[in-house]
Amino acid sequence: MSLRWTEDEEDEHIARVVHDKYEDVVECMRRWVREPDAEEVAEASLAVFLARDLELARTPDRLLWIVVCDEVRRYYEGRCREVFVRCVVDVLDLPVAMMDADMVASLGSARELDAALLGLPLRQMMAFDLRYVLDFSLDDAASALGRSLAGIKRDLDAAGKWITKALGLVERDETTLRALAKRER
């Protein structure tokens, strides 16, 4: 880690705390940023947030959450949108109870889901990805995107309707949407 600190004790303490949490932050960055850039983005994020509020270093879990939320926002501002839509739908991975003839026929390929996702407004795509691909709770998704819980619920409902219609599915429930959204890690 190449963050530069002044020599006083306060900065040394902050540097120790950040160093202890650094690997956790880099690991979180790898979820949203391509591997070679993860360390650079993590370091830049830490520097920005610590410059704003040195108190964050005393609560490293809060710091980590703020950095992750910031990266979620930046990710969805278009830096890596093409990476987001690489969802893989494997019918064999779906629960047997969900594999009715209509669904199997409509799933055809991952390209159909990609096309359906690209038809969504960005805010609905963001909510869908956080909720069903990354398994965020509704509260965490709202917090990460800086929106109200009601707004996230509306976006998820609209996204679910759109995807159901685009793929020609008979039902639209949370289990179906979550299974459709899972992609290779």
What pLDDT is attached to residue 2?
44
Residue 130 pLDDT > 60, yes or no? yes
What pLDDT is attached to residue 47?
62
What pLDDT is attached to residue 162?
84
- Lowest average pLDDT, out of 20-29, 57-66, 143-152, goes to 57-66
Q: Which of 42-46, 69-73, 97-101, 125-129 has the highest mean pLDDT?
A: 125-129
Q: Which of 7-21, 146-160, 167-181 has the highest mean pLDDT?
A: 146-160
| 85-181: in CATH 1.10.3980.10 | no
User: Higher-confidence residue: 102 or 28?
Assistant: 28
What 3 state SS string does the chain have? CCCCCCCCHHHHHHHHHHHHHHHHHHHHHHHHCCHHHHHHHHHHHHHHHHHHCHHHHHCHHHHHHHHHHHHHHHHHHHHCHHHHCCCCCCHHHCCHHHCCHHHHHHHCCHHHHHHHHHCCCHHHHHHHHHHHHCCCCHHHHHHHHCCCHHHHHHHHHHHHHHHHHHHCCCCCCHHHHHHHHCCCC
Could you give the residue range(s) of every CATH 1.10.10.10 domain in the chain?
85-181
Segment 49-105, tens digit of pLDDT: 665 666 665 565 666 666 666 666 665 555 444 433 333 333 334 444 443 444 444
Q: Mean pLDDT across the chain, nearest whole number?
A: 63
